[in-house]
Structure 1
């Protein structure tokens, strides 16, 4: 069996993979200079890809799959698989019988913590109050004015849209703030601890109407693409906050901008931003065209939720477990459903 690491793996990382797999497994990785060690070029990988039985990594150069005639497994070191869908990989995998396993849940705690940071930052006007003190040291006056007063989490309702590995961790943390948790997911009959009531996708609007905070944690599938728009925002309380911890393309930018600038929505936070992919976007853009991220009632980061202690080590460990499952002919514990995309 031959395993190709799609990144510039360190000696220690290669040793961990080798030690976990059956004796005689060949582990190869690209060598030479790099700009980012988590990426590599087609030219660097092409000699190894042609006879590799398994790939493991974060980035897949275009054209590599087409020459990987022996490939039987991709251990994808991401939770989301939308990048694979965007390059048409799923169709090729189905044709060739290639299995895909991801590391879903590997970043769940880090992303859930980021989600709660966003909830608190919006509720407590963290950035605004920091800037007031840092810039001129003034004290906000009058006390308890609407524009200065923080929101509370205690006793409030939070809606988690997409209660998977990340959503369930968000629910757990929300309970620590004595919040009521409502969940929305495809399979509402599957109970999740810390969720007070679970609802189907057809109940989304009725759930939104009850929430003081709404967190989007859904996979980025073709059904979810830009599903949150004018009607969904209209269903929310004007006093509510929206937090997107999943993918930027879940939310329609124009109605979001209009709601944030008109007072229809109290605030927005996101770790991910729109990538316009209607064929070739014109003009090309990877941030909001309406500059939502610059609004005063917006808190943001840019794909940093998983950039935390312990996450890289967890990714590698779970990715190696995928390889072990494959090598020992066990069911893949994190196999991706190629029809659903996650």
Structure 2
């Protein structure tokens, strides 16, 4: 079996993958100076892709899957596969019969911690109070609405999408004595620390009960732009919204209106909309309405998984996908090509 690393893998990374796979497996990577794991090109990979049996990596240049006629398996080192869907790779996999597996859960704790940080930062007005402290400005009067923090204890949090990340968010919320409501495709699958599970058809009734709402769903054809005017209208005006999943889940125009009119108390996100020319104008990777600059918004840019040990876990779990494939076992993290996750 020949495995192609889709990035300029270090010698140590290649060796760790090689050691985990059966004797005789060839593990190769493009030559060149190491800079980023997301910047390999068609010319970097072309000579190896043509006869590779399996790919592992974070990015795949256009044209490479088309020449990989022997490809039987892709180990994708992300939790989400919406990028693969957008370039038609999932439909190609279904047509040609090769398998796709991801590393879902590898960053679950790190991302759930980031979501919890956002909940606390919004509730406790962390940025606002830090700025007041740096300016030696004492907030007065005490307990004024504009200065007073929100509480977590005894409040209700809704987790929309209770997969690996959502389950950890629920666990952390219980540490603050919160009541946890979950929403997922299959509400019959209960999850520890979730007080009650609901289907997507119950979304609005769940939103109406929540003081905090965390979006943790994958971006699919069904969830893209699913959170809009009606969903915001269903929320309490005193509630906070946190998006830890994908920027495309939320309709920015309705979010902006709610945040500037007082219809929504605050918003936090690690992810922002990606506008592509041909679908929207102007094209870009930042909010068109500058939502991130509003005083009741805090955020980061794809930093939730940038934590100790996550990179190593990505490669280790991605290698486990290859091990299962080489052994002829069912893939623990195989993507359902029909559902897109």
TM-score, normalised relative to structure 1:
0.98
Equivalences for 1:274-293 in 2 at 5 Å?
274-277=273-276, 279-293=278-292
Paired with 1:55 and 1:293, the residues of 2 have a C-alpha distance of 36
Q: Which residue pairs with 1:75 in the alignment?
A: 75
Q: Which residue pairs with 1:217 in the alignment?
A: 216
**TM superposition shift of 1:280:** 4.5
3-state secondary structure, aligned to 1:56: strand
Q: Which residue pairs with 2:45 in the alignment?
A: 45
Q: Which residue pairs with 1:269 in the alignment?
A: 268
Paired with 1:104 and 1:18, the residues of 2 have a C-alpha distance of 22
Paired with 1:35 and 1:79, the residues of 2 have a C-alpha distance of 22
Paired with 2:295 and 2:25, the residues of 1 have a C-alpha distance of 54
**TM superposition shift of 1:35:** 4.0
Q: Which residue pairs with 1:154 in the alignment?
A: 153
Q: Which residue pairs with 1:63 in the alignment?
A: 63
Q: Which residue pairs with 2:226 in the alignment?
A: 227
Residue deviations 1:73-126, cap 9 Å, x none?
000000000000000111111111010000000100000000000000000000
Paired with 1:263 and 1:303, the residues of 2 have a C-alpha distance of 27
8 Å CA contact 1:162–1:184 kept in 2: the answer is: yes
Unmatched runs of 5 consecutive residues or more in structure 2? none
**TM superposition shift of 1:236:** 0.2
Paired with 1:100 and 1:263, the residues of 2 have a C-alpha distance of 44
Residue deviations 1:157-201, cap 9 Å, x none?
000000000000000000000000000000000110000000000
Q: Which residue pairs with 2:86 in the alignment?
A: 86
Alignment RMSD (CA, Å): 0.9
Paired with 2:255 and 2:10, the residues of 1 have a C-alpha distance of 43
Residue deviations 1:267-304, cap 9 Å, x none?
00000000124735321121110000000000100000
Paired with 2:137 and 2:131, the residues of 1 have a C-alpha distance of 10
Against the structure 1 CA distance between its residues 158 and 108, is the aligned structure 2 distance closer, same or farther, given a 3 Å change threshold? same
Deviation >4 Å, runs of 4+? none
3-state secondary structure, aligned to 2:339: coil
8 Å CA contact 1:39–1:58 kept in 2: the answer is: no
8 Å CA contact 2:216–2:244 kept in 1: the answer is: yes
Aligned length: 341
Q: Which residue pairs with 1:193 in the alignment?
A: 192
Unmatched runs of 5 consecutive residues or more in structure 1? none
Residue deviations 1:2-37, cap 9 Å, x none?
000001111111111111000000000011135423
3-state secondary structure, aligned to 1:258: helix
3-state secondary structure, aligned to 2:75: strand
Equivalences for 1:1-342 in 2 at 5 Å?
1-134=1-134, 136-277=135-276, 279-342=278-341
3-state secondary structure, aligned to 1:131: helix
